[in-house]
Structure 1
Amino acid sequence: MRVAVVSDTHDNIRAIKRVAERITEDGVKTVIHLGDIISPFAVRLLREVLRGVKVIGVLGNNDGDVLQLAKLFSEASWELYSGPKIIELGGRRVLILHGYGSIADTESLVTNLAKSMEVDAVFFGHTHKVMVERIQGRLVLNPGEVCGYLTGKSSFAFVDLDTMEASIQVEEAGV
């Protein structure tokens, strides 16, 4: 089973649309969003482009109007969680979270979670930095930022849950 993993879309409509179209063209049927969607209009765009695709998300530290975000997710039969959540997909247990505090704090937290939890992978966002590592055999992934605001690059990942291999997709953000 292949999934797409995105994070930190931060209302960049052009980048969100471009990434969502690439995901749709690739035929992936599940997207994991690791937070900082920000506004309901970004979810409306995702719903428009990602027809027939399931989205599982966690809230980030910058997400606003949480009630409307949750309502839009629910109406689409998508899942949105307020904090870290272990999800089961393709026979794998995956911990999804946004992140907390500084880059160093988030990376330390994720490393410790990967070392201590009974999961196959830990997916996180928040830092806007791409990371693909193995920690005690677990895939640790940050797909970077869709928005491109900090790096000038729009990035996301495809993950094959059968092989636990991640492929980072990067393009100019055009912000």
Structure 2
Amino acid sequence: MIMKVGIMSDTHDNLSAIRLAVEFFNREGVNLVLHAGDFVAPFVAKELSNLKAPLKGVFGNNDGEREGLREKLGIKDDILTLNLDGLKVVMLHGTDERVVEAFAKSQLYDIVIRGHTHKYGIQEVGRTIVVNPGEVCGYLTGIKSVALLNTTEREVRIINLKTGEILGIISL
């Protein structure tokens, strides 16, 4: 089975941008969506509920209404570990760069998913790939972006939601 995973971060209550991401993930037929934090407020659940795939996420530093996010979206962790089709994945918001670096350097994970910086990027640290999908909201960089992980092809792509342009690509 082909497993496609949508990866997003830093939505910051931007409902129109969240709608773009949801439409993109639904069009791509993803099996799972991962959110690396900074939903901000529980009212984003309405747009996120339009996802055809299940959503898993972690808290970010701007997620003040944690109880509401827990209740509406089931978010309950600061760090989440997953096994995705044989790939060991850890996801965190990434507020402390030392923690992100420690996860990457530990070589315990195939993929470290992080957000916080609002800058999209893919970095290799030994055998570990660090993926930052960038910001869905587009507030800091002006670029609304997400990432797609295809576990069958062992590939990660970062996509500009407005233009469809591939901003980064790596094979695992």
Identity of aligned residues (%): 39
Kept in 1, the 8 Å contact 2:12–2:39? The answer is yes
The structure with the largest helix share of the pair is 1
Please give the alpha-carbon distance, in whole angstroms, between the structure 1 residues aligned to 2:27 and 2:145: 16
The answer to whether residue 26 in structure 2 is matched with residue 24 in structure 1 is yes
Kept in 2, the 8 Å contact 1:3–1:28? The answer is yes
Q: Which runs of 5+ in 1 are unaligned?
A: 75-79
Cα-to-partner distance string for 1:132-170 (whole Å, 9 max, x where unaligned): 122111121000000000011100000112343211111
Kept in 2, the 8 Å contact 1:95–1:123? The answer is yes
Kept in 2, the 8 Å contact 1:30–1:55? The answer is yes
Kept in 1, the 8 Å contact 2:107–2:128? The answer is no
Partner of 2:69 in structure 1?
A: 69
Give the 3 Å change call, closer, same or farther, for CA 64–21 of structure 1 in structure 2.
Answer: same
Matched residues, number: 161
The answer to whether residue 85 in structure 2 is matched with residue 90 in structure 1 is yes
Please give the alpha-carbon distance, in whole angstroms, between the structure 2 residues aligned to 1:130 and 1:116: 22
Give the 3 Å change call, closer, same or farther, for CA 81–88 of structure 1 in structure 2.
Answer: farther
SS at match of 2:137: coil
1:55 is aligned with what amino acid?
L
SS at match of 1:21: helix
Match of 1:160 among 136, 140, 150: 150
Question: 4+ residue stretches of structure 1 with deviation over 3 A?
Answer: none
Kept in 1, the 8 Å contact 2:120–2:132? The answer is yes
Kept in 1, the 8 Å contact 2:17–2:136? The answer is yes
Please give the alpha-carbon distance, in whole angstroms, between the structure 2 residues aligned to 1:136 and 1:127: 22
Q: Which runs of 5+ in 2 are unaligned?
A: 164-172
RMSD: 1.6
CA shift for structure 1 position 100: 1.6
Match of 1:136 among 126, 147, 155: 126
